[in-house]
Amino acid sequence: MNGGDEVVTAPAGPPQPLDWKFSQVFGERTAGEEVQEVDIISAIEFDKTGDHLATGDRGGRVVLFERTDTKDHDALRRDLERTDHPINRHPEFRYKTEFQSHEPEFDYLKSLEIEEKINKIRWCQTANRALFLLSTNDKTIKFWKVQEKKVKKISEMNLDPPKAVGNGCVASSSNSNSPTLCLANGGSSGNDFSFPPGGLPSLRLPVVVTSQETNLVARCRRVYAHAHDYHINSISNNSDGETFISADDLRINLWNLEISNQSFNIVDVKPANMEDLTEVITSAEFHPTHCNMLAYSSSKGSIRLIDLRQSALCDSHAKLFEEPEAPGSRSFFTEIIASISDIKFAKDGRYMLSRDYMTLKLWDINMDSGPVSTFQVHEYLRPKLCDLYENDSIFDKFECCLSGDGLRVATGSYSNLFRIFGCAPGSTEATTLEASKNPMRRQVQTPSRPSRSLSSITRVVRRGAETSGVDANGNSFDFTTKLLHLAWHPTENSIACAAANSLYMYYA
């Protein structure tokens, strides 16, 4: 208001699409190099600050990376802020340490091999400059503490050469009251030798000295075992910092971090007769701020939100989120591709993101009538569902993630591609990137034109699938190279994704 004139600000439009750039790669393969099965990355997770990144692989190892540019550029950042310059910081991580989290085991009662592959990693709250994280394979969850410890060394303890008697050593036996002189030829002078008054100045006993060198030590603090009959697919920390859940195909258990020999079963969908089994649990996640709420997804494409305050056994849900099936669209593959492989809460807890085989769906937890947005990930594969079923690719479990500001979502696809969609109202952002040093090389080179709606993008994608074996951009797709795992930095537009044994990082 100025002089009676009212200033009306125009409504802000959707954010502009981001320009993604290659940042780093760890474990890059050379041309023709064969990937070892144990080196394939199977889990990725940023911590809450975004300063640490953990990856797990099929060999049971956990590798930690730490951010370096925030430490090196603090002074430069302050200078830029004083001069009102935009801060275009290039995110950089370096290898920190790695440790063997799980080993292959054998269940003798069930004659079943338990592989060491890391299924999930979750960071816990830090304390006393130590890092804490949970890692799990199919059966066992472990709680790890990673801390820098000063290296302890033993100081010299030999005799001074000029003062040594017969080039031997003076030894004091703990089992004998009298000292014995050991000569160079291995003989002994018996009890003829006695210490002079004040002792021998040339004998130095071993002393442990703490040096200034530090070593990273990973120590398993607790093992949470023997609580799941089926393969663990999810672990999730509670916002209370004290508890976490673990989920398998039929049950969800609640644990206290301090107690490893007891857990509480809070969800059990196992029927009395296994022949009546119609759906299984595929993913579970705690609400980011409400410690009493969690969500779990099923193989039928539904998400159930439960409230731990309602009852001890939460078989009845507080809310059910599912999309009604379009009439006449049912086929042999309908139930298979409807199965949700991953769910994530947005940072504020208002929205949930789910990934099924063909789409990403964004849900408002206050609206259970259907998703607020649906994004087609690889619609051009729909005519190839029969082939995907034959080679088992249709059962691949792709993960999904949201940006820290909640404006964008991302997920992986085949040919080492991943998709990023804008989910702000009015946004038409739909970017395809490849996990390589040139992420934009799969983009269609077209002149600039007015932005089009998501529905028209979907139609273009469908037309691009008419040629067998090519994607929407005319590139041949490869079912053997799949990008299943990715994570979005919690505060910046930076993405880490896994392509086989390589970890690629991008920023915008």
pLDDT at 157: 59
Longest CA span, the chain = 113
pLDDT at 471: 55
pLDDT at 202: 63
Partners of residue 431 on adjacent β-strands: 420
Mean pLDDT is highest, among 156-165, 220-229, 443-452, for 220-229
> How high is the mean pLDDT of the chain?
82
Report the range of poorest mean pLDDT among 10-19, 158-167, 276-285: 158-167
pLDDT-derived band at 324 (thresholds 50, 70, 90) equals confident
Report the range of poorest mean pLDDT among 99-103, 341-345, 456-460, 471-475: 456-460
Alpha helices by DSSP H, 324-405: 334-338, 385-390
pLDDT at 323 over 50: yes
pLDDT-derived band at 304 (thresholds 50, 70, 90) equals very high
Of 49, 43, 87, 41, nearest to 66 (Cα)?
49
What is the enclosing helix (H) or strand (E) of 80? helix 74-82
Higher pLDDT, 31 or 469: 31
Could you report the per-residue pLDDT of 395-433, keeping only the tens digit for each? 999 999 999 999 999 999 999 999 999 999 899 999 999
pLDDT-derived band at 175 (thresholds 50, 70, 90) equals very low
| HEC readout, 116-183 | CCCCEEEECCCECCEEEEEEECCCCEEEEEEEEEEEEEECCCCCCHHHCCCCCEEECCCCCCCCEEEC
pLDDT-derived band at 199 (thresholds 50, 70, 90) equals low
Could you report the per-residue pLDDT of 254-283, keeping only the tens digit for each? 999 999 999 999 999 999 999 999 999 999
Could you report the per-residue pLDDT of 282-303, keeping only the tens digit for each? 999 999 999 999 999 999 999 9
Count of other CB atoms within 10 angstroms of residue 361: 23
CA distance 414 to 89: 31
pLDDT at 203: 61
pLDDT at 461: 31
Of 99, 102, 142, nearest to 118 (Cα)?
102
pLDDT at 59: 96
pLDDT at 176: 43
pLDDT at 161 over 80: no
Unique residue bearing structure tokens 């002189």:
181
pLDDT-derived band at 326 (thresholds 50, 70, 90) equals confident
CA distance 295 to 161: 72
pLDDT at 129 over 80: yes
CA distance 29 to 501: 8
Q: What percent of the chain has pLDDT over 70?
A: 77
CA 492 to chain centre: 17
pLDDT at 293: 95
CA distance 479 to 414: 6
Q: What is the average per-residue pLDDT within 11-36?
A: 85
Higher pLDDT, 212 or 236: 236
Could you report the per-residue pLDDT of 424-451, keeping only the tens digit for each? 989 999 999 999 998 886 654 333 323 3
Q: What percent of the chain has pLDDT over 90?
A: 61
Could you report the per-residue pLDDT of 465-497, keeping only the tens digit for each? 333 455 555 556 788 899 999 999 999 999 999
pLDDT-derived band at 74 (thresholds 50, 70, 90) equals low
pLDDT at 398: 97
The alpha carbon dihedral of 101, 104, 106, 107 has a sign of: positive
pLDDT-derived band at 152 (thresholds 50, 70, 90) equals confident
pLDDT at 393: 94
pLDDT at 172 over 90: no
Unique residue bearing structure tokens 């799980």:
102
pLDDT at 210: 77
Higher pLDDT, 71 or 478: 478
Could you report the per-residue pLDDT of 339-378, keeping only the tens digit for each? 999 999 999 999 999 999 999 999 999 999 999 999 999 9
Residue 15 burial (C-beta neighbours within 10 Å; 0-12, 13-18, 19+): middle
Report the range of poorest mean pLDDT among 194-203, 295-304, 330-339: 194-203
